[in-house]
Amino acid sequence: MSTQLAAAGIRLREGYDPAHLEPAPDVVVVGNALSRGNPAVEYALERGLPYVSGPQWLAEHLLQQRWVLGVAGTHGKTSTASMLAWILDAAGLDPGFLIGGVPRNFGVSARLGAAPFFVVEADEYDTAFFDKRSKFIHYRPRTLVLNNLEFDHADIFDDLGMIQRQFHHLVRTVPGNGLIVHAGSDQALNEVLAMGCWTPRERFDLGGPGDWQAAAVEPDGSRFEVVVEGQRVGRVAWALSGRHNVCNALAALAAARHAGVPVARGIEALNRFANVRRRMELHGQVADVRVYDDFAHHPTAIATTLEGLRAQVGDRRIIAVLEPRSNTMRMGRHREALAASLGRADRILVYTAPGLEWDAEAALAPLGDKARVADSVAEIVRGVAAMAQPGDQVLVMSNGGFENIHQRLLEALADRFAQPGQGTRAAI
């Protein structure tokens, strides 16, 4: 559980005990993970307690009269929203923000900030058990970033068309004096906009149609020139990797310009951007074996993350460790694409936790001997520790805690390389 509330001096009661709702609160904010049958939900309903969803509460109490900058899309929402908030902050605008991760430049995932600007990660997941619209419908952005669009969230959407419909509902809320920044070559997004759009648009892309482009891109995405309407306006040289982050940067720069930040100032801020926790975060290294943590949990995100790491480390061996934890992954909706997404790794270990509804061994068969499955985290830790050699890059991918596997890997590697001359452990 996040410690941010406790750190702010807010007293917490954990769990769903109805006693926590006594005495009756002024309002119950219901998260979208709660459903009918939850004891706290049932108690609130039976007692007639006032309740509201988180997104609705945010819209009614914090976003009124704000210039909302929303970042939506299947991938890159957290990273792009973090970049955008940092650019606005570096320009002295003191934005509020609500982000589904912890930007390292801020150390917190949310703050009120000063009016008028507020950056919000605009998620397409449903709002609450009583409101099955996507959360982003409530935010009513003036500036909207649409990064990309693929099928995901199979537990609530039957197909891509259902998600596109929700995205179009979002597009309908952006005013005519606003701006939509979108990936120019994303077919699914172009289909959404073709349903109707009443707002000016600016496109970004790498090599495709776009008002915002990148040139002279290093293979690992660590350096690139920003090109706006055909004119080179500056160079980004930062600590991030991956061509996907180059696209995220272009989108953030475009959205920030709409809020009044000159492009050159935005580029300078990106050069000091420290990324987001759990986005290619180096947890530590032992004997020149590096252990990374990444939030990737969709085949596209897995592939782009591995592409960025491969470009960064060259021929060094990459050991990929994956937990298929998202509802969509567990249901098997992405199993056909999984092997191809892992192709840039040299060794692959996939955790087959209870409840996985598909045959992981069969899905990974195209990878041959370099991939194997494990039914416990302990087995993965032993396997990685046994095979690791100096220079290896261990990339752990999951959208959950993964049973503290990163620290367990570092400890196992430290035990393995504890002999004289084998190196020492250095934690990050």
Task: Give the length of the chain.
Answer: 428
**Could you tell me if 123 and 31 are in contact, meaning their C-beta atoms sit under 8 angstroms apart?**
no
**Tokens (6 digits) for 235:** 């160079």
If we measure between CA atoms, which residue out of 276, 240, 219, 243 comes closest to residue 79?
A: 276
End-to-end CA distance of the chain: 21
pLDDT score of 423: 44
Q: Which residues of the chain have pLDDT under 50?
A: 1, 421-428
CA distance 49 to 69: 32
- Beta bridge partners, 390, equal none
**Tokens (6 digits) for 391:** 């220079």
**Could you tell me if 313 and 289 are in contact, meaning their C-beta atoms sit under 8 angstroms apart?**
no
- Beta bridge partners, 28, equal 51
User: Is the bond preceding 116 in cis, omega lying within 30 degrees of 0?
Assistant: yes
Type of residue at 259: A
**Within 13 Å and on the Cβ side, how many CA atoms surround 340?**
6
User: Is the bond preceding 50 in cis, omega lying within 30 degrees of 0?
Assistant: no
CA distance 154 to 150: 11
CATH number of 281-427: 3.90.190.20
Determine whether domain 54-270 maps to CATH 3.40.1190.10. Answer: yes
| Strand ranges for 229-263 from DSSP E | 231-237
Burial class (CB in 10 A: 0-12, 13-18, 19+), 307: buried
**Could you tell me if 124 and 167 are in contact, meaning their C-beta atoms sit under 8 angstroms apart?**
yes
Any idea where the domains of the chain sit in the sequence?
A: 13-49, 54-270, 281-427
CA distance 4 to 202: 36
Residue where the block lists tokens 């920044």:
181
Burial class (CB in 10 A: 0-12, 13-18, 19+), 338: buried
Q: What are phi and psi of 249, to 5 degrees?
A: -65, -45
**Could you tell me if 88 and 261 are in contact, meaning their C-beta atoms sit under 8 angstroms apart?**
yes
SS3 156: coil
- Do 54-270 and 281-427 come out as alike in CATH topology? no
**Could you tell me if 11 and 17 are in contact, meaning their C-beta atoms sit under 8 angstroms apart?**
no
pLDDT score of 282: 86
**Tokens (6 digits) for 144:** 């909207």
pLDDT score of 190: 96
Residue where the block lists tokens 């219901």:
30
Type of residue at 240: L
Residue where the block lists tokens 């973090």:
82
Q: What is the pLDDT of residues 142-191, one digit of tens each?
A: 999 999 998 877 778 888 999 999 999 999 999 999 999 999 999 999 99
Within 10 Å of residue 17's Cβ, how many Cβ atoms?
Answer: 12
